[in-house]
Amino acid sequence: MKSPGSHLKYVDGLRAIAILAVIAYHAISEANWAFPWLVAPMTLVPTWWCTTLAAKGAHGVDLFFVISGFCLAYPVLARQQHGGTTSFDVRGFFAKRIVRIVPPYYASIVILVAMVVLAVHLGYHRPSAVAADFTPVSLLQQVLFFDRHADFVNSSFWTLAIELRWYLAFPFLLLLYTRSTRFFFTVLAGCVVAFNLTQLRAMDIGTLPGFMLGIVAADWRFREPKIARFALPAFLVALDIALLLEPFASEPSRFGGADDVGFFVQTNVGWQLASFFFVVAAGRVAWLRRLLEFPTLCAIGVSAYGIYLVHQPIISLWDRNGGANLPPLANFASAVCFAIAGGLAFSYIAERPFLVNAVRARLVRALEKPLASAFTILGVPVRLELAEAGRVAAVPQCDAAAVPALEPVGRS
């Protein structure tokens, strides 16, 4: 059994698969030559199959959602398995999440705004992935993670606001899972029903099952239920279900009006299940785990967040300023290469400094006190006692030295 603080290298490989899939999708969706093939009926022409397969990369986002739930829950559940009970430091959790997510995100906003201004000043076409008109108000809206009617500097930012709200719910979801697994699955199924069959059609609800399944996947690393043995064939079955459900999948438009539909929708429960079983299989199937632990994949996976923050505008800028003149294969390959290279460079500059233990520890400590004060005002406990036997207690205050902050697995 892995120790609570151990690093799961294959999780970095999973992140690499997710970000490479998303890059492939955006490289295809930004290419003018690919559009006729994306809307064409099925054919034996290889170009149709290649563009369609690349377009399915949109569901790398579903994989990211499952990985997120897995990484946040794994260290907590690992400690629980080793000790029977464990303390969840709510204050430390939020401090770590803020330090991990916010600085690179803010840096990407500054860099992308500067990139657009510079490109226009030099006479280049602005990236289509960037909002046509971002004002100080819209930028403030993004800084505060408000996503309704948001003109994102980078259209990929829509996932970050949803993730942030999941972080608010995570301590309670974890508490619910450790207290009553049945009720947890009832809530999960309720989200699927509520989104698809009622008026509660919010993206947070439609995508939450993927995040919750990530918590289950983390637990299965230790409990290893019988169904986990069949994770790989279950993944293939879920993949078939996902493809069958695609014509019926939709998501509410952020700007109101008609729903968005298509193969890129992240509210398809089939893709959520496929991502879940893929994560479970990665931890159980030896050959798959070895592939995911390949050093190049891990290097990309470690920088996946930084790459995600800037890859789409890079692809769009390249495609609108010369890349579109290349043959299709060269256009696609060059867009992918530029996205990875630019994302790695950004990650090294704006993300890696906040992964250094000394820097991160200082920032986390600086945030813990104001967060504790805010929790006290709101009546939110700063520590949750999770008991495997079902006993759960909330303690209003805790000693940070006695309750170490939990570090998500895989540099999440």
pLDDT in tens, 168-198: 999 999 999 988 899 999 999 999 999 999 8
pLDDT at 364 over 60: yes
- What burial class does residue 227 get, using C-beta atoms within 10 Å of its C-beta: 0-12 exposed, 13-18 middle, 19+ buried? exposed
pLDDT at 264 over 90: no
pLDDT digit string, tens, across residues 7-65: 789 999 999 999 999 999 999 988 887 787 777 777 888 887 888 888 899 999 999 99
In a domain, 4, yes or no: no
Which pLDDT score, from 0 to 100, does residue 395 have? 34
In which band, very low, low, confident or very high, does the pLDDT at 232 lie, cut at 50, 70 and 90? very high
In a domain, 1, yes or no: no
In which band, very low, low, confident or very high, does the pLDDT at 239 lie, cut at 50, 70 and 90? very high
Structure tokens at 283: 């931890």
- Intra-chain end-to-end CA distance of the chain, in Å: 21
Which residue has 């994949």 as its token pair? 297
In a domain, 388, yes or no: yes
d(CA 34, CA 14): 27
In a domain, 2, yes or no: no
Phi, psi of 408 (to 5 degrees): -55, 145
In a domain, 412, yes or no: no
Which residue range forms the structural domain that includes residue 376? 9-395
d(CA 155, CA 132): 11
Distance of CA 301 to the CA centre of its chain: 12
Which one is predicted more confidently, 54 or 396? 54
Which one is predicted more confidently, 256 or 98? 98
In a domain, 401, yes or no: no
d(CA 295, CA 348): 17
Please, which residues have CB within 8 angstroms of residue 144's CB and are 6 or more apart in sequence?
A: none
Q: What is the mean pLDDT of residues 312-336?
A: 86
In the three-class reduction of DSSP (H, G, I as helix; E, B as strand; rest coil), residue 125 is classed as coil
**HSE of 120, CA atoms in CB hemisphere, 13 A:** 11
The residues facing 85 across adjacent strands are 387
d(CA 96, CA 67): 17
DSSP letter string, 48-67: HHHHHHHHGGGGHHHHHHHH
In a domain, 404, yes or no: no
Which one is predicted more confidently, 204 or 136? 204
Which pLDDT score, from 0 to 100, does residue 210 have? 95
d(CA 179, CA 386): 8
Q: What is the mean pLDDT of residues 382-406?
A: 45
Number of domains in the chain: 1
Q: Which helix (H) or strand (E) holds 19?
A: helix 9-29
In which band, very low, low, confident or very high, does the pLDDT at 115 lie, cut at 50, 70 and 90? confident
In a domain, 400, yes or no: no
Do strands 250-251 and 260-261 pair parallel, antiparallel, or not at all (unpaired)? Answer: antiparallel
Other Cβ atoms less than 10 A from the Cβ of 95: the count is 24
Q: In what order do the strands lie in the sheet with 383-387?
A: 85-89, 383-387, 392-395
Which pLDDT score, from 0 to 100, does residue 311 have? 93
pLDDT at 260 over 80: no
Phi, psi of 389 (to 5 degrees): -80, 0
Which pLDDT score, from 0 to 100, does residue 401 have? 31
Residue type, 13: G
d(CA 285, CA 184): 27
Which pLDDT score, from 0 to 100, does residue 256 have? 62
Give CA separation, 320 vs 43, 307, 314, in Å. Answer: 28, 20, 10
Average of per-residue pLDDT values in the chain: 84
Closest CA to 307 of 104, 62, 69: 104
pLDDT at 262 over 70: no
